[in-house]
Amino acid sequence: MNLMEVRGLRKYFQMSSGFLSKPHQVRAVDGVDFTIEQNKVFSIVGESGSGKSTVARLLLRLIEPQEGDVLFKGTNVLGLKGEALKAYRRSVQIIFQDPFASLNPRMKIFNALCEPLKIHKTVPKSQFRQRVSEMLQRVGLTEDVMSRYPHEFSGGQRQRICIARALMLGPELVVADEPLSSLDVSIQAQILNLLIRIKGEIGLSFLFISHDLNVVQYFSDSIAVMYLGKIVESGQTEQLFENPLHPYTQMLIESVPKITGVSHHSHDTAADTPSPIEIPPGCPFHPRCAKRLAACSSSVPELIERNGRVVACHLY
Amino acid sequence: MALLSVENVSVFFKRHLAGGDLQVVNSISFDVEAAEILGVVGESGCGKSVTAAAVMGILPQNAYYKGDILFEGQRLSTLSAEGLRALRGNRISMIFQEPMTSLNPVLTVGYQIAEVLMVHKGMSKAEAMARAAELLADVKIPSPTLRIKDYPHQMSGGMRQRVMIAMAIACNPALVLADEPTTALDVTIAAQVLSLLRGIQEKFNMSMVLITHDLGLVAENAQRIAIMYAGRLMESAETASLFKRPRHPYTVGLLNSIPKGRHIPLVPIPGFVPKPDNLPPGCKFSDRCSHVVKRCKEAEPPLIEIEKGHFNRCILNGGDGV
C-alpha cells in the first residue's frame, strides 16, 4: 500500500540579491513525483543543491510548496490546518543531519524527549517517565541518560537520542535527512543497523535522504536520484545499482571510492555542478554529460518508464 | 633515505591540571618515500590531523611535540622559525579540508597563488600572476586568465579546492600533506579533484600524505596505508597486503562498517571512539574489540612487523579468528 504519494511538487525560492538587481528564482524542487510504500525505505540521493532536503521540508510542511500534492494515506496534507495538521505531524517525524545542532543544549534529555508528548498530549503526564525510558532502551541507551544534558554525549549517542525523540509519538513515516553524515564510520554502521532494527520492530517507513551511495544501497528498497530539482532516475535498489540508466546515476556510482582498490573512473572534466540559480536549458545534466546528444541542450527530457523504472534522458 | 621520517613523535596539549599535559598522539613513526602516496586513516580524534600539523610546524600555540621529524635528512626541530618558513609552502605544502575557510575572502585567488611564488621564488608580481594563471590551467579551471581575478566566494567548492591545490603545488614541493582534501565536496566533484591531484602527483613525482577517514579513498590511491586509533598507529602495510589480509581487529571492524551491498549484513564496531583523556588501560582498542582477552587489558601491545612491511599492534596478530 502507498503510504505517501507526492505529485508534481514544486518549490521556487525568490532571491533578491540587491536593491537594483532583478530578483531571481531558485528552482529548488521542480516537479517531483514519487511514492513511499508502507514499511519500506525510499531514498533520495543527490549532491548539494539537488533539492533533496527541500523535498523533506515540504513533506513535513515546514515550508509550503508552490504547486503539487502530497497525499498521506490518501488525504492531501497541504490543505490541513489545526488539529488535522497536528495529527499528521504525529505520523510523520524527522531526524536531522547534525545531532549537535538539533538538541537544545539547555534541556535535559528527559525534557527533550517529553516535549513531543507535552505538545501533542497523547499520554497522561504520569506515563512520561515510562515512555521515555522505553524509547531510550529501544535506541540502545540506558535509563540514566534522562537526567543528563546533550553536551555529555558523543555524536552517535546524540543521534540515538534524536531518533528516540522522533519515535516518541509513534510515527508511521520517519524522514531522515542525512542522519549519518556527521558521524564516524564505525558509528554510522551502528546507527544504520539501529534504524533497520526499528523499522522491523515497529513497521516504520522511511524517507531517507543521503549522498552516500554505499549507505543508500544497503538501506533502501527503492531510490530516486535527484539532480538540480528534478528526479532523473528512480527504481528498485538492485536494478538501479546493477544497471544505472541515466548518465548521472552512472557517474555517481562510479565516483564512489571502492575498497576493492583500482579506481574505475576517469573524470577529466572540470565541470562543476551548476548552481540551482542558473539551471542549464534542456537537460540540466547536459553540460557534464559524456553521452549528450544535440537534443539535450534544447529540450528537457521527460520521465519515461523503462525496464520497470523511470528515467529522464534523451538516450532512452 | 626516506623523504620524510617521523620518528617516535608524540603530540601534547598543554593543560594546567593535575594530570599534566594531554597526550593526543603517542610515539608515532612512519616514513614517506619519494613519489609515494601514504594513506593515513582514522576516525575523528585519532590524531591524524595533529600529526600532519606537527610535520608542517603549524601546531596550535598550546601544543608541542616530542620526537624527531626529518625532512630530506634535516631535523625540523633544529630549524629556526625563518628556516621553517622557507620550507613551508615551498618544499612541503598542505591542502586543507575546508576550501572556504582556508582561502582569504578579501584577496583574489590569483593573488593568493602569486603570493606563494613571490615569497618563495622571489618573482615580481606580474611574473607571479602570469604563473598563477598557468597553475589554474594545470588544475583544469576553465578560462584561467579571467578566473585569477575572482574572489573565493565567486567559486564553487570544487573550484576552491582546485585553487588550494594550485597554491600547494605552486613551488613544486617534494611533499604535499592533504588533510581530508575531498571530504567537503560532493561525490562526483570529489572524484574529479582526486583524479586531478593524482595526475599532478604522478607528473611532478611528488610524495603525498593522504589523510582521510575513507578507506575507499586510500584503497584507490595510496601505496601504503597507516591505520590510526586513539593517537597510535594500529596497523600499517602496503595497500594490497592490508586489504587482502587486515590483521588488526580495528582495521577489520572499519572494513566491516562499510556497507557493501544490500542484504550483506553490516557488523559495526560497538561502543564509541574514546576521548584522549579517557583511554582504556592496555590496548586502547580493547574496550571495543570483539576478540579481547585478559592480556589485552594488562599491557599495551607493541607495534611489530609480522610480515615484511606489514606492522600490527595486536597480541592476537591476526590469529584466533581475527
pLDDT tens-digit series, residues A106-161: 999 999 999 999 999 989 999 999 999 999 999 999 999 999 999 999 889 999 99
Contacts of A181 (CB under 8 A, 6+ apart): A97, A210, A211, A212
Question: Distance between CA atoms of A131 and A124, rounded to whole angstroms?
Answer: 10
Residue pLDDT, tens place only, A232-253: 999 999 999 999 999 999 999 9
Q: What is the mean pLDDT of chain A?
A: 90
Contacts of A99 (CB under 8 A, 6+ apart): A155, A158, A159, A161, A162, A182
Query: What integer pLDDT is reported at residue A40 of this predicted model?
Result: 95
Q: Do A185 and B43 touch (CB under 8 A)?
A: yes
Q: Do B216 and A185 touch (CB under 8 A)?
A: no
Answer whether residue A191 shows pLDDT above 90. yes
Distance from CA of A151 to the nearest CA of B (A): 14
Question: Distance between CA atoms of B163 and B141, rounded to whole angstroms?
Answer: 9
Query: What integer pLDDT is reported at residue B68 of this predicted model?
Result: 95
Q: Do B260 and A218 touch (CB under 8 A)?
A: yes
Question: Distance between CA atoms of A29 and A53, rounded to whole angstroms?
Answer: 10
Answer whether residue A264 shows pLDDT above 60. no
Query: What integer pLDDT is reported at residue A161 of this predicted model?
Result: 96
Say how many CB pairs under 8 Å bridge A and B. 132
**Which residue of B186, B220, B259 is in closest CB contact with A48?**
B186
* Chain B environment of A275 (Cβ under 8 Å): 156
Distance from CA of B146 to the nearest CA of A (A): 16
Region B108-134: mean pLDDT is 95
Q: Measured at the alpha carbon of residue B199, what is the angle toward residues B43 and B100, in degrees to the nearest 5?
A: 50
List the single residue in B with minimal CA-CA distance to A270. Answer: B140
Region A271-288: mean pLDDT is 82
Written as one letter, the residue type at B88 is R
Distance from CA of B124 to the nearest CA of A (A): 30
* Chain A environment of B255 (Cβ under 8 Å): 259
* Chain B environment of A266 (Cβ under 8 Å): 195
Answer whether residue B318 shows pLDDT above 70. no
* Chain B environment of A244 (Cβ under 8 Å): none
Please report where in the chains the cell 601504503 appears, as a residue.
B224
Q: Measured at the alpha carbon of residue B103, what is the angle toward residues B99 and B107, in degrees to the nearest 5?
A: 145
Contacts of A222 (CB under 8 A, 6+ apart): A37, A40, A41, A42, A43, A234, A235, A236, A237
Query: What integer pLDDT is reported at residue B44 of this predicted model?
Result: 87
Region B113-118: mean pLDDT is 95
Going by pLDDT thresholds of 50, 70 and 90, the confidence category of residue B200 is: very high
Range scoring the smallest mean pLDDT among A184-188, A189-193, A201-205, B2-6: A184-188
Query: What integer pLDDT is reported at residue B18 of this predicted model?
Result: 73
Q: Do B192 and A217 touch (CB under 8 A)?
A: no
Q: Do A47 and B256 touch (CB under 8 A)?
A: no
Q: Do A237 and B262 touch (CB under 8 A)?
A: yes
**Which residue of A189, A261, A272 is in closest CB contact with B257?**
A189
Distance from CA of B155 to the nearest CA of A (A): 10
Distance from CA of B313 to the nearest CA of A (A): 19
Distance from CA of B41 to the nearest CA of A (A): 11
Answer whether residue A267 shows pLDDT above 80. no
List the single residue in A with minimal CA-CA distance to B250. Answer: A186
List the single residue in B with minimal CA-CA distance to A254. Answer: B188
Residues of chain A above pLDDT 70, percent: 95
**Which residue of B194, B261, B268 is in closest CB contact with A189?**
B268
Classify the complex by whether its ipTM is higher than 0.85, answering yes or no: no
Question: Distance between CA atoms of B7 and A300, rounded to whole angstroms?
Answer: 59
List the single residue in B with minimal CA-CA distance to A252. Answer: B188
**Which residue of A189, A255, A269 is in closest CB contact with B187?**
A255
Question: What does the block give as the cell for A12?
Answer: 521556487
Looking at the DSSP assignment, which residues form a beta bridge with residue B191? none
Do B108 and B149 form a contact (C-beta atoms < 8 A)?
yes
Q: Do A184 and B44 touch (CB under 8 A)?
A: yes
Q: Do A268 and B140 touch (CB under 8 A)?
A: yes
Contacts of B68 (CB under 8 A, 6+ apart): B5, B6, B7, B8, B9, B75, B77
Region A98-108: mean pLDDT is 91
Q: Give the predicted TM-score (pTM) of the model.
A: 0.88
Sheet of B92-95: strand order equals B92-95, B175-179, B207-212, B37-41, B224-229, B232-238, B310-312, B304-307
Question: Distance between CA atoms of A262 and B283, rounded to whole angstroms?
Answer: 33
**Which residue of A154, A254, A259 is in closest CB contact with B258?**
A259
Distance from CA of B262 to the nearest CA of A (A): 4
Answer whether residue B189 shows pLDDT above 80. yes
Q: Do B272 and A156 touch (CB under 8 A)?
A: yes
Q: Do B272 and A254 touch (CB under 8 A)?
A: no
End-to-end CA distance of chain A: 30
Question: Distance between CA atoms of B242 and B222, rounded to whole angstroms?
Answer: 11
Region B92-100: mean pLDDT is 88
Residue pLDDT, tens place only, A43-52: 999 988 889 9
**Which residue of B188, B220, B260 is in closest CB contact with A252?**
B188
Q: Best interface-test mutation with B: which of A184, A242, A253 has the largest number of B CBs within 10 A?
A: A184
Identify the H or E element spanning A41. Answer: strand A41-45
Region A279-307: mean pLDDT is 89
Query: What integer pLDDT is reported at residue A241 of this predicted model?
Result: 93
Please list, residue by residue across A215-247, b when 16 or more beta carbons sit within 10 angstroms of its beta carbon and e when fewer do: bbbbbbbbbbbbbbbbbbbbbebeebbeebbbb
Q: Do A270 and B188 touch (CB under 8 A)?
A: no
Q: What is the mean pLDDT of chain B?
A: 91
